[in-house]
């Protein structure tokens, strides 16, 4: 005997009370959409205002954490500003990789046979006399600052007494051991007021997740409690194309092909947002 046919609408009605009791299931797609780890500058007030002061911007950290990329970007921004007082570019990197992106003589580096330590002290004396700000790109694992801080207690105060305001940017990957240099300098009493923790998003898949461990390290939290400001260095999706041409990020844009132009333009905008809280430290 055939079963009586039930109308579709009536069948659906039987399940309505059950469906109404079931909560909607949230769909988490953060692992698909995460790009730069929230690099829009972050929450919080801007850092101490250093506008108009002579600054020594120290780019510190292990190799492959973004120091030279940042120096290239910041040096180009200074040139484009064209206020008649461009920043001095100093490179203590043995590979001299920074020098290839600027005009001859645009980056000062230790000459052959002269130690980075001796040359850096000479450069500081020259800076004091010139009144110009400077960017110092230290090579990965460089001990120049550690040795100087050990021999000159309160190094940041000694620099300030000469009219030079130190700005320290610690570049970090997701490895907890990257904090060693920052912890060492802090332990030696080198504690400038202007300190930033720069998280390089280029080598991680999900910055918010992958940086979780290092951001919870006691040394990291101690720096934040002392007033350090986080900066999330965005990944440049056209980095290879830019580096191949050995030009500045702005200058190279017209030479890029296809979507690389859009990738480069977006990176430049995100960099401005990412560094907004420390903008007076940089230019």
Picking from 52, 54, 75, 53, the residue whose alpha carbon sits closest to that of residue 132 is 54
User: Residue 193: its pLDDT value, please?
Assistant: 97
User: Residue 13: its pLDDT value, please?
Assistant: 60
**Number of CB atoms found within 10 A of residue 208's CB:** 16
Cβ contacts of 251 within 8 Å, gap of 6 or more? 76
User: Residue 40: its pLDDT value, please?
Assistant: 47
CB 73 within 8 A of CB 251: no
Taking the complete model, does pTM exceed 0.95, yes or no?
no
Domain ranges for the chain: 53-282
Low-confidence ranges of the chain (pLDDT < 70): 1-22, 31, 34-43, 94-96, 140-142
CATH code at 53-282: 3.40.50.300
DSSP 8-class letter at 177: G
User: Residue 122: its pLDDT value, please?
Assistant: 94
Picking from 38, 60, 56, the residue whose alpha carbon sits closest to that of residue 178 is 60
Picking from 257, 107, 241, the residue whose alpha carbon sits closest to that of residue 249 is 241
DSSP 8-class letter at 36: S
């Amino acid at each position: 005997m055939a079963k009586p046919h039930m109308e579709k609408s009536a069948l659906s009605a039987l399940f309505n009370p059950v469906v109404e009791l079931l909560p909607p299931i949230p769909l988490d797609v953060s692992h698909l959409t995460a790009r730069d780890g929230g690099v829009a500058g972050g929450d919080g007030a801007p850092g101490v205002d250093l506008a108009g002061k002579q600054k020594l911007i120290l780019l510190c950290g292990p190799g492959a954490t973004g120091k030279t990329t940042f120096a290239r970007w910041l040096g180009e921004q200074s040139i484009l500003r064209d206020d008649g007082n461009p920043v001095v570019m100093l490179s203590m990197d043995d590979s001299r990789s920074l020098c290839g992106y600027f005009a001859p003589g645009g980056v000062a580096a230790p000459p052959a046979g002269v130690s980075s330590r001796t040359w850096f002290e000479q450069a500081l004396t020259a800076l004091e006399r010139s009144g110009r700000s400077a960017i110092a790109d230290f090579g990965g694992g460089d001990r120049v600052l550690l040795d100087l801080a050990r021999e000159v207690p309160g190094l940041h105060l000694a620099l300030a007494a000469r009219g030079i305001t130190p700005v320290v940017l610690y570049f970090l990957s997701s490895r907890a051991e990257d904090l060693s240099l920052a912890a060492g300098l802090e332990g030696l009493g080198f504690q400038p007021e202007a300190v930033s923790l720069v998280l390089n998003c280029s080598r991680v898949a999900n910055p918010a997740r992958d940086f979780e461990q290092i951001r919870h390290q006691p040394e990291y939290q101690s720096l934040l409690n002392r007033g350090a400001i986080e900066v999330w260095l965005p990944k440049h999706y056209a980095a290879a194309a830019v580096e191949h041409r050995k030009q500045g990020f702005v200058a190279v844009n017209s030479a890029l092909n296809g979507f690389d132009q859009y990738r480069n333009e977006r990176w430049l905008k995100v960099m401005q947002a990412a560094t907004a809280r420390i903008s007076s430290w940089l230019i």
